[in-house]
């Protein structure tokens, strides 16, 4: 018998609604798990035990009254600490926001709560989501549960690490250039970056507004589909949210999910992109699984792929330099100034002390790119290249239903391995950036392990708003590859951690 | 050179606060005078994670202004972020419009000394207001973010203005226009209309522009003229003493009656404009465009011309009656109810002499006038028809203003109908003559001024209701006989 915390979120909700498991017991089991292992991993920045237990009791009481608390009834989840939570400190992994307790919930968070989810706490991340290893967190790194000497990926590293080590049933992350998919790949979980505008950004601390998107991180495709179904949809608080009906994502991934008749494209540029042979081998094996399942596999070209990285590193820092202007020490967060300090010095000292190195680097890059007289050469030109990259995808999707590639060039790297070389770190995102620049939905699906036992992930990309096809293909692979048991428990789990304890009702 | 040897060249940048119910990008109220920082929300405060959503009412207001000034309306305009650090700017940037503003071109019509002028506009764009910094004695400053996020239209003129007087007239015309359109109260004291002036001077006859300065913080109609006059004089003084004008921003100090340098061009900030990725392109579709065109009222200048050209009003009367839209609407409705353009002049007189006096005394708006336009028209008709005398009509008017009752009802109730029945008046006149034989003899012996005595007696006996002209005629006839 697996422990309840190993079950999928869907299965946890089912057992709670059937009263085979109480929300309180499940929450306590997760809190105990966090207590037992997170000191070694560092996934949580903040655990709200009291809030979670109070909410669990409310869910149990509602169920006892015969009410339906929603599709995630009593399921303990956790949130990347870039999602604003009412009454619960939110820092974006930055010293400059330390101590800030928001007066409101973001839309995705509010929707999860309304669906019955229990928020256990806030998860580690690279400061303001800027990074690919979680090493840029102002509050210490997070470690990869598969190998504690390695990074969990970033920026949603804490989310991926917490989910795979059963510290929460599922989590929300954000993805600006791969920040959901890359840590999902490094930690061996499912991570979905929805179409830009599919999920509201209200209450998501902005990094790069035209690229940021919230998405679910889970151990099963069905869990991810359920979470997406809950958080997706038009929000009057976000003018960029799309007013399109939300499909029943969860229904799309049931056992009937099939890829027969689908055409899956393999972008030449992503396979010739210098990926590690072990990663390529695992992804090519996944391609053969799809062939076996009846999908047609074709090769496609995304000719502007090489320009994605420089384009991204102009646009994202430019937007970031603007979005981070509000951290001035005036209204909230940390202020570094003694009475009598001049206004300019207050700004300098607050921002100097409050921001970390990578954040400062990107603010400077972005400020440079937006300078009067340089706008056309940098920002405007990058927007033109972005349009070309977008067109590459449009053309490819005239021929194919999905694109498949490695999510990352390598499996998880060691802590400290790339911190001295930002460009090397940036290059790790080459397969994920295009998806954000084009506003497409994309996801990571675990597809095997390296010889050293590190997870490998494949990336699926779909047409705008066609998450259904993407999730269906992911579910078909997951079933065929047999990565889960019949209760949704991953067959292979991080070694070296204590076994999740049994919990009874 | 004398002052008249120099030609001032002036362009104005005017910020108009739009009178929307909620802020430009969030739901907080825009009420004036509320408890500091009470009209805020996550978006107004620039809290992490907050997002702007544009207020459609602000777009409608801006479109009305653009259409009224005959601008080209950009069917797809864009919001941009303008960056600078200041404590009353919560996000570190102001959401504004930059290279793709809503309105371009157009003009504002005004009259200076009776002559019609047209000042061309460069553009009208939408943006949000900043909060207010309240500097305390010592080192502390307080912030009130109630004003932050209030929608603004920035109206930028071409340098077409040639005198401080014309600049003041431009402000008055814009003030009048925004009130006509119902898009702002335009109260300068409340900061609903704020003026920055770009001022330069050049030797008369020279086509090249002189170096300009920007004058900020001009917050009353009186100061517009004063501040610009002062700046023109300052520049002429500098140039005539062999100096040169430095391109700079100067702050008008109304108390001291002078301007002070705030920053030079070299210190000018780089605002790092770029399109705001949080806001989609602002689309004006045909439906909205047409709806706003339909909503556009007849503008003050058009009404002025109609009053003078078609209705024959004096220029001054027309100016008074078009000053406020509510007054002009009242006047138009009264003339319409009268049913004939011939009613325009007497109605204009009634409104200016009686109605405005009462309203001004009570500090009451035209909209709150107890007398309906049609009632005033009815009163004027009754006078025309001789049903009441002018004197009685003023009495009836007073009663109408107090009670809101229709003039016919008041005349009926008070028995004020003018006696124009010649036979009835003749009877009264005879008895008056018989009762005063001495005066009658005096009149007949040549003291014709005594007619006034007899008229007075008849009026007295009829309670003032007799038609005075008729009384006069009857008495003259009887006394002569």
The pLDDT tens digits for B225-282 are 999 999 999 999 999 999 999 999 999 988 888 888 987 776 668 999 999 999 999 9
Selecting from B45, B49, B53 the residue whose C-beta is nearest the C-beta of A203 gives: B49
- Average of per-residue pLDDT across B64-92: 97
Smallest Cβ–Cβ distance between B42 and the set A104, A206, A318 belongs to A104
CB distance B87–A328 less than 8 Å? yes
pTM score of the predicted model = 0.91
Rounded to whole angstroms, the Cα distance separating A477 from A479 reads 5
Q: Does B272 touch chain A (CB under 8 A)?
A: yes
> Interior CA angle at A488 toward A486 and A492, to 5°?
95
Q: What is the pLDDT of residue A498?
A: 86
Active site residue A80: yes
Best residue in A110, A237, A376 to probe B by mutation, most B CBs within 10 Å? A237
Q: How far apart are CA B161 and CA B172, in angstroms?
A: 14
Q: Which H or E element spans position B82?
A: strand B80-83
Residue B470, H or E segment? helix B468-480
Share of chain A above pLDDT 70, in %: 99
Of A204, A239, A322, the CB nearest to B54: A239
Ranges of beta strands (E only) in A149-206 are: 170-174, 190-193
Q: What is the per-residue pLDDT for A502?
A: 55
Mean of the pLDDT values across residues A270-280? 92
Whether the Cβ atoms of residue A138 and residue A95 lie closer than 8 Å to each other: yes
Residues A263-281, mean pLDDT to the nearest whole number:
94
Q: What is the DSSP string of B135-189?
A: EPSSS-EEEE-SSTT-EEEEEEE-S-B-SHHHHHHHHHHHHHHHHHHTS----TT
Distance of alpha carbon B231 from alpha carbon B208, whole angstroms? 19
Contact B223, B254 (CB under 8 A): yes
Of B48, B53, B270, the CB nearest to A205: B48
Tens digits of residue pLDDT in B44-66: 999 999 999 999 999 999 999 99
Residues A22, A155, A165, A321: which is the catalytic one? A155
- Give B90's contacts in chain A (Cβ within 8 Å): 326, 330-331
**How many Cβ atoms are within 10 Å of B179's Cβ, its own excluded?**
19
Whether the predicted pLDDT of A174 surpasses 90: yes
Q: Which residue has the higher pLDDT, B418 or B221?
A: B221
Q: Say if CB B133 and CB B143 are below 8 A apart.
A: yes
For strand B213-218 and strand B248-253, is the pairing parallel, antiparallel, or unpaired?
parallel
Give residue-wise pLDDT tens across range B2-38.
668 999 999 999 999 999 999 999 999 999 889 999 9
Q: How distant, in Å, are the alpha carbons of A220, B348, B434, B452, B457 from that of B446? A: 122, 42, 18, 14, 19
Range of weakest confidence among A59-63, A187-191, B138-142, B172-176: B138-142
Strands (E) in A235-342, as ranges, are 263-267, 296-300
Once rounded to an integer, what is the mean pLDDT over residues A186-206?
Answer: 98
Residue B254: what pLDDT? 86
Residue % of chain B over a pLDDT of 90: 72
Q: And the tokens for A387?
A: 């349009």
Tell me the C-alpha distance between A445 and A481, whole Å: 11
Assigned fold of B422-480 = Arc Repressor Mutant, subunit A (1.10.10)
| Residue among A92, A325, A379 whose CB faces B83 most closely | A325
Residue A505 has pLDDT above 50, yes or no: no
Is position A381 annotated as part of the catalytic site?
A: no
For chain B, how big is the Rg over CA atoms in Å?
31
Residues of chain B with CATH 1.10.10.410: 422-480
- Contact flag B53-A238 (C-beta cutoff 8 Å): yes
Mean pLDDT value of segment A481-497: 93
For A371, which of B140, B272, B280 is closest by C-beta distance?
A: B272
**Catalytic residue from among A17, A80, A122, A193:** A80
Residue B116 DSSP code: E
Q: Is the pLDDT of residue A503 over 60?
A: no
Q: Of these residues, A132, A179, A200, A321, which one is catalytic?
A: A179
Contact criterion met (CB < 8 Å) for B85 and A106: no
The string of pLDDT tens digits covering residues A331-351 is 999 998 887 788 899 999 999
The lowest-confidence range among A207-221, B107-121, B320-334, B357-371 is B107-121
CA distance B339 to B353: 22
Q: What's the sign of the alpha-carbon dihedral A67, A70, A76, A82?
A: negative
Q: Which two tokens stand for residue A466?
A: 């066609």
Look at A212-226, B179-193, B259-273 and tell me which has the smallest mean pLDDT: B259-273
Per DSSP, B77 falls in state E
Q: A75-84, A451-460, B104-113, B191-200 — which is least confidently predicted? A: B104-113
Average pLDDT, chain A: 96
The residue among B24, B42, B48, B82 with the most chain A CBs within 10 A of its CB, best to mutate, is: B48
- Does the predicted interface ipTM exceed a cut of 0.90? yes
Residue B436, token pair as written in the block: 């005063």
Sign of torsion over alpha carbons B226, B229, B234, B235: positive
Residue A147 DSSP label = B
Structure confidence at residue A436 as a pLDDT band (50, 70, 90): very high
* Closest CA relative to residue B51, chosen from A318, A197, A240, A327: A240
Q: Do B278 and A209 touch (CB under 8 A)?
A: yes
Q: Cα A66 to chain center, whole Å? A: 34
Q: Do B50 and A339 touch (CB under 8 A)?
A: no
Cis check for the bond before B284: say yes or no (omega within 30 of 0). no
Chain-chain contact of B274 with A375 (C-beta, under 8 angstroms) = yes
> B37 CB near a chain A CB, below 8 Å?
no
Given an 8 Å threshold on Cβ–Cβ distance, is B52 in contact with A239? yes
Residues A85 and A110: their CA atoms lie apart, in Å, by 9
pLDDT at B392: 83
Measured CA to CA, the distance from residue A400 to residue A402 in angstroms comes to 6
Out of B87, B93, B140, whose CB is closest to A330? B87
Looking at the predicted structure, is the pLDDT value of residue A90 above 90?
yes
Nearest Cα to B82, choosing from B213, B276, B234?
Answer: B276
**For residues A257-278, average pLDDT:** 93
Residues within 8 A of A (CB atoms), B 72-91 only: 81, 83, 85, 87, 90-91
Domain A4-306+384-481 listed as CATH 3.90.1300.10? yes
pLDDT for residue B255:
87
CB B186 within 8 A of CB B324: no
Closest C-alpha to A502, from A169, A29, A162: A29
List CB contacts of B45: < 8 A, sequence separation 6 or more. A331, B90, B145, B148
Per-residue pLDDT tens for A387-411? Answer: 999 999 999 999 999 999 999 999 9
| B98 contact A CB<8A | no
Interchain CB contact of B268 with A (< 8 Å): no
Higher pLDDT, B387 or B26: B26
Instruction: Check if B92 contacts A (Cβ < 8 Å).
Output: yes
From CA B355, how far away is CA B401, in angstroms rounded? 8
Subunit contact B278:A347, Cβ cutoff 8 A = no
Longest dimension (CA), chain B: 101
How distant is the Cα of A325 from the closest Cα of chain B, in angstroms?
A: 5
Task: Catalogue the E-assigned strands of A149-295.
Answer: 170-174, 190-193, 214-218, 263-267
Return the number of other C-beta atoms located less than 10 Å from residue B279's C-beta. Answer: 20
Give, for A321, the enclosing helix (H) or strand (E): helix A308-323
Q: A401: helix, coil or strand?
A: coil
C-beta neighbour count of B435 within 10 angstroms? 10
Min CA distance, B48 vs chain A (Å)? Answer: 5
Choose among A292, A290, A298, A296: nearest CA to A477. Answer: A290
- Residue-wise pLDDT tens digits, A351-392: 999 999 999 999 999 999 999 889 999 999 999 999 999 999
Dmax (CA) of chain A: 72
DSSP class of residue A355 equals S
Which distant-in-sequence residues (6+ apart) come within 8 Å of B95 by Cβ?
B24, B25, B52, B79, B80, B81, B82, B127, B128, B276, B279
Mutate to test the interface with A, among B269, B272, B281 (most CBs of A within 10 A): B272
A305 vs A438: CA distance, rounded Å:
11
For residue range A25-58, what is the model confidence (pLDDT) as tens digits? 999 999 999 999 999 999 999 999 999 999 999 9
| Cross-chain residue pair B277–A321, CB shorter than 8 Å | no
Which residues fall within 8 angstroms of residue A277, CB to CB, at 6 or more apart?
Answer: none
Closest-CA distance, A494 to chain B, in angstroms, reads: 34
Q: Residue B223 and residue B187: Cα distance in Å, rounded?
A: 14
Residue with the two structure tokens 């470690």: A143
Say how far apart CA B208 and CA B224 lie, in whole Å: 25
Number of neighbours of residue B246 by Cβ within 10 angstroms = 13
* Spatial distance between the Cα atoms of B85 and A105, rounded to a whole number of angstroms: 27
Across the interface, whether the CB atoms of B48 and A370 are under 8 A apart is answered: no
| Residue of chain B whose Cα is closest to the Cα of A209 | B277
The answer to whether the CB atoms of A238 and B51 lie below 8 A apart is: yes
């Amino acid at each position: 018998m697996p422990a309840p915390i190993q079950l999928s979120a869907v299965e946890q909700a089912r057992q709670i609604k059937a009263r085979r498991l109480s929300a309180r017991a499940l929450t306590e089991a997760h809190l105990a798990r966090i207590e037992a292992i997170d000191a070694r991993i560092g996934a949580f920045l903040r655990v709200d035990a009291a809030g979670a237990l109070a909410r669990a009791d409310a869910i149990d009481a509602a169920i006892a009254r015969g009410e339906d608390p929603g599709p995630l009834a009593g399921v303990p989840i956790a949130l990347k600490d870039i999602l604003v939570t009412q009454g619960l400190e939110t820092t974006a992994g930055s010293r400059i926001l330390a101590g800030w307790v928001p007066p409101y919930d973001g839309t995705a968070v509010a929707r999860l709560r309304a669906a019955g989810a229990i928020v256990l706490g806030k998860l580690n991340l690279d400061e303001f989501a800027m990074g690919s290893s979680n090493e840029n967190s102002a509050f210490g790194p997070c470690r990869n549960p598969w190998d504690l000497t390695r990074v969990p990926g970033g920026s949603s590293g804490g989310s991926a690490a917490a989910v795979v080590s059963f510290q929460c049933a599922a989590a929300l992350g954000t993805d600006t250039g791969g920040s959901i998919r890359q840590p999902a790949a490094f930690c061996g979980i499912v991570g979905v970056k929805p179409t830009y505008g599919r999920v509201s950004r209200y209450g998501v601390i902005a990094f790069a507004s035209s690229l940021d998107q919230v998405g679910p991180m889970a151990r099963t495709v069905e869990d991810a589909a359920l979470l997406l179904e809950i958080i997706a949809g038009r929000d009057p608080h976000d003018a960029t949210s799309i007013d399109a009906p939300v499909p029943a994502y969860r229904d799309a991934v049931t056992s009937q999910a099939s890829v027969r008749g689908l055409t899956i494209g393999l972008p030449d540029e992503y396979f010739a992109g210098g990926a590690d042979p072990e990663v390529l081998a695992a992804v090519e094996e996944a391609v053969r699984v799809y062939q076996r399942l009846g999908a047609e596999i074709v090769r496609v070209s995304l000719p502007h792929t090489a320009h994605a990285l420089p384009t991204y590193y102009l646009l994202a820092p430019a937007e970031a330099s603007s979005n981070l202007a509000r951290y001035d020490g005036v209204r909230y967060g940390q202020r570094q100034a003694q009475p009598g300090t001049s206004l300019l010095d207050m700004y300098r000292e607050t921002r100097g002390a409050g921001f970390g190195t990578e954040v400062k680097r990107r603010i400077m890059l972005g400020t440079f790119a937006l300078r009067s007289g340089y706008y056309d050469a940098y920002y405007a030109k990058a927007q033109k290249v972005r349009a070309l990259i977008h067109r590459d995808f449009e053309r490819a999707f005239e021929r194919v239903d999905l694109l498949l590639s490695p999510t990352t060039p390598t499996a998880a790297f060691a802590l400290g391995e790339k911190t001295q070389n930002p460009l090397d770190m940036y290059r790790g995102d080459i397969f994920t950036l295009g998806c954000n620049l084009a506003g497409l939905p994309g996801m990571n699906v675990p597809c095997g392990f390296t010889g050293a036992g590190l997870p490998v992930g494949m990336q699926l990309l779909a047409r705008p708003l066609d998450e259904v096809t993407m999730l269906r293909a992911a579910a078909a692979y997951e079933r065929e590859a047999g990565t889960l048991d019949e209760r949704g428990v991953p067959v292979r789990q991080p070694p070296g951690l204590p076994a999740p304890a049994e919990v009874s009702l | 050179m004398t002052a008249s040897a120099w030609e001032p060249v002036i362009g104005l940048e005017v910020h108009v606060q739009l009178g929307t119910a909620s802020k430009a990008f969030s739901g907080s109220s825009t009420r004036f005078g509320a408890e500091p920082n009470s009209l805020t929300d996550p978006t107004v405060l620039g809290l992490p994670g907050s997002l702007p959503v544009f207020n459609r009412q602000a777009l409608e207001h801006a479109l009305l202004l653009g259409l009224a000034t005959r601008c080209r309306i950009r069917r797809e305009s864009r919001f941009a972020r303008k960056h600078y650090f200041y404590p009353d700017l919560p996000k570190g940037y102001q959401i504004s419009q930059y290279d793709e503003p809503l309105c371009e071109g157009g003009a504002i019509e005004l009259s200076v000394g009776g002559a019609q002028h047209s000042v061309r506009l460069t553009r009208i764009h939408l943006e949000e207001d900043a909060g207010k910094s309240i500097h305390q004695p010592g080192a502390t400053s307080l912030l009130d973010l109630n004003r932050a996020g209030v929608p603004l239209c920035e109206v930028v003129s071409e340098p077409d203005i040639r005198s401080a007087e014309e600049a003041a007239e431009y402000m008055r015309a814009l003030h009048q226009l925004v009130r006509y359109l119902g898009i702002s109260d335009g109260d300068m004291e409340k900061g609903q209309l704020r003026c920055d002036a770009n001022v330069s001077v050049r030797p008369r006859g020279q086509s090249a522009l002189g170096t300009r300065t920007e004058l900020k913080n001009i917050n009353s109609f009186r100061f517009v003229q004063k501040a610009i006059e002062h700046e023109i004089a300052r520049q002429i003084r500098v140039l005539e003493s062999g100096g040169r004008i430095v391109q700079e921003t100067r702050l008008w100090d109304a108390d001291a009656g002078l301007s002070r340098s705030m920053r030079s061009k070299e210190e000018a900030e780089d605002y790092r404009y770029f399109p705001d990725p949080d806001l989609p392109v602002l689309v004006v579709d045909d439906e909205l465009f047409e709806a706003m065109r339909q909503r556009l009222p007849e503008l003050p200048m058009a009404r002025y011309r109609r009053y003078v050209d078609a209705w024959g009003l004096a220029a001054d009367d027309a100016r008074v009656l078009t000053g406020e839209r509510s007054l002009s609407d009242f006047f138009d409705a009264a003339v319409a109810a009268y049913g004939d353009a011939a009613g325009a002049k007497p109605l204009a007189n009634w409104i200016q002499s009686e109605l405005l006096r009462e309203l001004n005394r009570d500090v009451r708006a035209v909209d709150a006038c107890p007398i309906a336009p049609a009632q005033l028209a009815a009163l004027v008709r009754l006078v025309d028809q001789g049903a009441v005398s002018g004197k009685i009509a003023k009495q009836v008017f007073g009663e109408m203003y107090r009670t809101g009752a229709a003039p016919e009802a008041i005349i009926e109730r008070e028995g004020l109908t003018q006696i124009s029945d010649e036979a009835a008046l003749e009877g009264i006149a005879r008895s008056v003559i018989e009762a005063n034989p001495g005066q009658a003899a005096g009149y007949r012996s040549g003291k014709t001024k005594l007619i006034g005595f007899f008229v007075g007696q008849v009026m007295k006996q009829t309670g003032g209701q007799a038609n005075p002209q008729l009384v006069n005629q009857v008495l003259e006839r009887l006394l002569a006989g």
